[in-house]
Amino acid sequence: MSLLDLAPVVPVVVIEDAGTAVPMARALVAGGLPVIEVTLRTPAALEAIARIAEEVPEATVGAGTIRTTDDIAASVSAGARFLVSPGTTLSLVEALDSSGVPYLPGAATVSEVMALAERGIKELKFFPAEAAGGVPYLKSLSGPLPDVRFCPTGGIKPETARDYLALPNVGCVGGSWLTPADALAAGDWGRVEKLAAEAAALR
């Protein structure tokens, strides 16, 4: 099954303390969101991916903010089951192709989308979604590029997620609101599970 069809919302997570990774992942899964993108923005990210992969098998954990071939190798080695990049260069997409795991390359312009589609890549991350044009922009792409589907990420909120999910070319959205930093720091897993359940019910 496509990554875009596993859940309506993919939590985009920044983890400062790897010790929070497993209870956070369990709370997200309990709320109905089994796909988790851990961004490589902190020193704890790779250890967090490894812990989730080992201890929460019901979660599909991936690595985000993939920018280099080293990021790819380290993430796959840690147990990432998919990869997400904020943008795409030729060398990066070639490395992603060779990674052995599914991936969502980032694109923000029609030309970038067309270049990836020429390579047979029809499922993409649209980033930064709100800043790059949001719902109206993606709606305008569905006419000339009806065979390309997106996971828009960046600036999406609970109140706007449903508008994205209503588009025919959107499979899911990425959201950072599901794991607030204060909830992770406080170990408030009930709050995380509640946010996940609300997001899972969006579609």
Nearest CA among 28, 83, 67, 34 for reference residue 195? 28
CA torsion sign, 51 to 54 to 59 to 65?
positive
Question: What DSSP state is assigned to residue 153?
Answer: B
Catalytic residue among 122, 125, 157, 159: 125
> CA 148 to CA 114: how far, in whole Å?
9
3-state helix, strand, coil in the chain (%, to 5): 45, 15, 40
Annotation marks residue 125 as catalytic: yes
In the numeric block, which tokens belong to residue 52?
């989730």
Annotation marks residue 37 as catalytic: yes
Residues marked as catalytic: 37, 125
